[in-house]
Structure 1
Amino acid sequence: MRAPFSGVIQRNGSKVVPPIRLRMSAGIASPRSELHVYAIIVSACNLRVTMRRRDDFREEVRRLAASCAGLTMRQAARQLTQLFDDALKGSGLSLAQIGLMALIATSEDDRMAALAARAGLDPSTLSRNLRALERDGLIEIATVEKDLRRRAVWLTEEGSRRLQAALPAWQAAQARVAAILPADLLHRIAAASAALAEPEG
């Protein structure tokens, strides 16, 4: 007489007993039951292969995410921005706003196009950011009489006063960052960023 199937399948080192009872006829297992058992065995093997592939996929994604320069720089930029925004909170200005105001104050070319190029922003993004400063009376945007297609931007007296008042907090935040990130490292990052902005070829 053929020994009945034990119903024990190895899966990930553990014993699994499928919910099946072999139907016996004259002491012989039913062919349909044997096919059912075989299907369960095949399914268990396929499950192990699928789980192994899923583990390999997760490990590959984990390694790629851990070594991705883009994700690392984005996270560092968010943390730095938060540090500066917290330090500048008393001025009522964000780091992005102070950065734009500093560019406007120090630029010899007051055209919007020149400001967009220096800030590394597209015209629509620049216009959106400038509107908030204009609404608060910190900058003024005007059309040049000789060329109606040209617009110029400059700080108002209130804008200059607010920027000057924010300088101590801005300098303190930079000093805190400099204690962690050496100046030469920041220069190398800036140079690398400029190189990445250049077209390939």
Structure 2
Amino acid sequence: MLYKILLVLFGFCFTPCFSQVEKCNLESTYFEDLKRVDADAVKCLAKNSEKPNTLFFVFARWCEPCMWHLPTFMSIEKEYDVNLYVILIDLENSQMTELAKDYVWERYPSAKIVVLKDFPKRGKGKKYKDFINSITPPRFEKIDDMSKYFVLDNEGDVVLVTSWKDSKGDPDWKDDRPMVKRLVLPLLQKKMESL
């Protein structure tokens, strides 16, 4: 009986996330627990969010800055009214995608993870470059570096794309908190305090 109650409660907690995915008709990848996205799907997730903003973070298990910056990214949801998604960039059915998925979920079991959609006869570098080119508005420099933050509003408009250059003057590039505090957080709404 307790098991059934927990399943029902678990379902209610994650209904908004699943409804976003359902509204955007995201397809499963080789790993059935991951959905594939492209630039249009990312915008769709933001448009169908119940939150004012949706924040995406580009991640790969082989990317050291990604691992250093993931805790900062995941901590944002504690104080800000935002949906967070981790975008894995390796090939959909690769061992690196599985390692990245496991790495994130071991540390953050409730993290929402999607994987960048594969295109026939294109490697991970090409699909990632295509994604950066299609999601980045002209007012931002198109840099295909890793550990990027994308902030989208609930209209699906990209309001921020970060790059390594945004941390250039910070004391320690391994710590992205100064950049996040300076560029990302001012675009987000704080959660309302409980009355």
The interval holding the TM-score normalised by the smaller chain is under 0.3
Considering Cα pairs closer than 8 Å and 6+ residues apart, tell me whether 1 or 2 has the greater RCO: 2
- What TM-score do the two structures reach when normalised by structure 1? 0.24
- What TM-score do the two structures reach when normalised by structure 2? 0.24
Q: Which has the higher helix share?
A: 1
Say which one has the larger Rg.
Answer: 1
